[in-house]
Structure 1
Amino acid sequence: MKRNSSTLTAAVFVGVSALVFGISGVGAGAAPPAEPTDQTLADYIAAGRKAAPVAESGSGSGSACTSGSGAGSGNGSGNCYGGSGSSAGLSGGYASDTVGYGPPMTSWLAAFGYGLLNPDVAPPGANDWACKPTAEHPRPVILLHGTWMNAYNGFAFMGQPIKDAGLCTFTVNYGRSTPIQGGGLGAVLPGVMGTGYIQDSAAQLATFVDRVLAATGAAEVDIVAHSQGGAMANWYTKFHGGADKVRHLVTFGATHHGTTLIGIGALGRAINNFGIDILGFVELFVGHAGIQQTVGSDFVNRLNANGDTVAGVDYTVVGSRYDEVTTPYELTFLRPVAGATVQNITLQDGCEQDVSDHLTIMYSPRALSIALRALDQAGHPDLVCTANPWLLGGGGKL
């Protein structure tokens, strides 16, 4: 029995670690995971929409969610900290501006390494604070990285082409937190960001959006986001007034409905529901944000409790059949409420040779063309189709 418990703990740890590293047993050229049935997908989503618990206390006018063990905290906007059975830990962290620029990259792996060693540089094309929107392109674009990523390695491929399309682009390093603040052990690496509570990161995004609007004179922004950045931006539109400030939200591999991590994350959640705080243990390693993105977490529950989307925002949601982190990949897709429009796109539809996974999707020429079409359909109506290697990336080159 002791050996079985140790094996189970190790399995869940490896699975949740995949959320931030993007590593799994799916290899380059391998067949994508079997697609779930409609009923299976409905069951996954329903599991993530249980009513979130309400704390007895919390400052402000909103309700606060609690975690299954440890103390919950509220900030007056109905935020849910912790992970439905994970340890609450400390809330903290901050966002930071970029300093200087890194080189353009076509390979995700190379960009990730450069970003670890140069954590504060901006991706090419971003954060020209003198840029002013035009009548043709009236909205600046904010680029949001994912978990354990940073502004540079999230957009070293896409940043310059979006700027070259005539769009003012801006980005920020959000969710910077130390291990003591709940960022996990990975947060000791200087280029690892997006680890703090996602609600805190959404508040940081709210501040950054207001800065961009003030600097550019624009009334709204568009957002292009990867992984956690998409779910965080969705939280911003729902709980931080972002619905009135965001026109287009374009997401790639976003954890809108959480992830099962090929079943391991769902297994961990089930174990937690039996009263064993295994996700709280894993959270010590991967950080708050990693655990919040598993199916059934308080964060996922609250994010989708009143519908996937908000009125007034146009959503373009992209998933890959080869995504080994947001699984099943259909969990990234959204359903519109009245007044919202949603276009759900599977990357391989019409382009089977693009086998981008969770991380290399941000280095896919097809993904870039989808983003440009969403931001400027008149100027970029066509989608490209090239092969893009799994895991390594390559900007369409092997």
Structure 2
Amino acid sequence: MRPTIRALGSAVFASATAAAVAFSSGVANADPADTGSGSGSGSASFASDAIGPGPEMTSFLGAFAYGLAHPDAAPPGANDWNCKPSPEHPQPVVLVHGTWLNTYDSFAYLSPQIARAGFCVFAFNFGRENILSGGGLGTILPGRYGVGPMEDSAEQLAQFVDRVLAATGAQSVDIVGHSQGGPVTSQYLKFDGGQGKVAKVITFGATNHGTTLLGIASLGRFIENLGLDIMGFDEPFIGQANVEQAVGSPFYAKLNADGDTVPGVDYTAVGTVHDEISNPYDWTFLTAGPGATVDNITLQQDCDQDLSDHLTIMYSPRAASIALHALDPAAHPDLQCSFNPWVIGGSGHL
């Protein structure tokens, strides 16, 4: 029987309890240094480096458990600041995680594959806040980042990209984003100086046009439009970034007012029909504007056995092959197709 969202939540919080105890006992890594705050808008959001690469993982649940106990671990293969891009792969790859996640549990499967393909890979944790500053209840768990205002997170991405370019000597980067990583990247490209510094954007389950969260956000926005500020009331519980990602938010009205893309960027947007967070799933797709190209891909096209949901898409062999193909189509011409189960990921293995 297919697991329910409630069952997933119970499993996650059961795992989180043990990890939180370990964290409070000093088992978890100490937070690394702050690498830059937001816009000065009053948010306490900040970004930090991911340090000490964790182990390679094949399942989301395994990576999530490790990320709770080691909330600032770097995904394997990332953050070699001495890495110099090769002529075959001149753009470093920057990884941008999603909401209530960290860069390790988002990319512990994909990052080492990109590094082994010959790319310099870099990752960081952004949108960090605590419950008192507006991050929501999720921040009581270690490593639940990406909760601050997306405008501030985009500025943090801008600072990180500039560091990567300075360290590598590259002219531009490629970005791989999951979930909130999509709109944060778009915000950076459109409003924070990213145009001309990014060659390719590859997203998975990106909330590029907001989400209904299976209709909950649509209902909340409807009630808000009747005059009751229910979305603002929810903010202390779910965090600022989640409120912004609800369909119809002012954030998206500004972000997409002049179209989905910017000139000079090649976009690949991947969605899964089993996505319970970014839904309808085709809202993850983009429409190409002048000077941009877009490849919208449904994960299950020609591969029905891939049952990846919003989180396990990052642990799908097919999704990884799509990312590698987008980054270097000549070296990675073929797409994989294998069973990848809902919730667990890792082709059914922890």
TM over 0.5: yes
1:225 aligns with 177
1:313 aligns with 2:294: no
Deviation at 1:395, TM superposition (A): 4.4
Letter of the structure 2 residue corresponding to residue 337 of structure 1: G
1:363 aligns with 315
SS at structure 1 position matched to 2:130:
coil
Counterparts of 1:219-368 in structure 2, within 5 Å, are: 219-368=171-320
2:5 aligns with 24
Deviation at 1:299, TM superposition (A): 0.8
**Aligned residues of 1:265 and 1:295 also touching (Cα < 8 A):** yes
1:127 aligns with 79
Counterparts of 1:148-227 in structure 2, within 5 Å, are: 148-227=100-179
Give me the whole-angstrom Cα distance separating, in 2, the residues matched to 1:192 and 1:200: 16
* CA gap 1:203/1:253 in 2 versus in 1, 3 angstroms: same
Give every structure 1 segment of 4 or more consecutive aligned residues whose post-TM-superposition deviation is greater than 2 Å.
Answer: 22-27, 395-398
**Aligned residues of 2:102 and 2:146 also touching (Cα < 8 A):** yes
* CA gap 1:92/1:396 in 2 versus in 1, 3 angstroms: same
Letter of the structure 1 residue corresponding to residue 82 of structure 2: A
The TM-score normalised by the length of structure 2 is 0.88
Deviation at 1:377, TM superposition (A): 0.7
**Aligned residues of 1:175 and 1:198 also touching (Cα < 8 A):** yes
Give me the whole-angstrom Cα distance separating, in 1, the residues matched to 2:65 and 2:103: 13
The TM-score normalised by the length of structure 1 is 0.78
* CA gap 1:296/1:23 in 2 versus in 1, 3 angstroms: farther
* Structure 1 stretches lacking a partner, 5+ long: 1-21, 28-73, 82-89
* CA gap 1:105/1:395 in 2 versus in 1, 3 angstroms: farther
**Aligned residues of 2:97 and 2:179 also touching (Cα < 8 A):** yes
Deviations along 1:240-280, one digit per CA (max 9) or x if unpaired, are: 11111000000000000000111111000000111111111
* Structure 2 stretches lacking a partner, 5+ long: 9-37
Q: State how many pairs are aligned.
A: 319
* CA gap 1:286/1:241 in 2 versus in 1, 3 angstroms: same
Deviations along 1:72-116, one digit per CA (max 9) or x if unpaired, are: xx969xxxx8xxxxxxxx512110011201111111011111101
SS at structure 1 position matched to 2:5:
coil
Give me the whole-angstrom Cα distance separating, in 2, the residues matched to 1:129 and 1:303: 32
SS at structure 1 position matched to 2:288:
coil
Say which is worse superposed, 278-287 or 199-208, in terms of deviation. Answer: 278-287
SS at structure 2 position matched to 1:203:
helix
Letter of the structure 1 residue corresponding to residue 345 of structure 2: G
SS at structure 2 position matched to 1:244:
coil
**Aligned residues of 2:39 and 2:152 also touching (Cα < 8 A):** no
- Which structure's CA Rg is the greater one? 1
Deviation at 1:397, TM superposition (A): 4.8
1:388 aligns with 340
1:57 aligns with none
**Aligned residues of 2:79 and 2:123 also touching (Cα < 8 A):** yes
Counterparts of 1:88-103 in structure 2, within 5 Å, are: 90-103=42-55
Deviation at 1:26, TM superposition (A): 10
**Aligned residues of 2:52 and 2:74 also touching (Cα < 8 A):** yes
Counterparts of 1:35-54 in structure 2, within 5 Å, are: none
Return the structure number with greater relative CO, CA threshold 8 A, min gap 6: 1
Give me the whole-angstrom Cα distance separating, in 2, the residues matched to 1:146 and 1:23: 21
Deviation at 1:396, TM superposition (A): 6.4
Q: Could you tell me the percent identity over the aligned residues?
A: 60
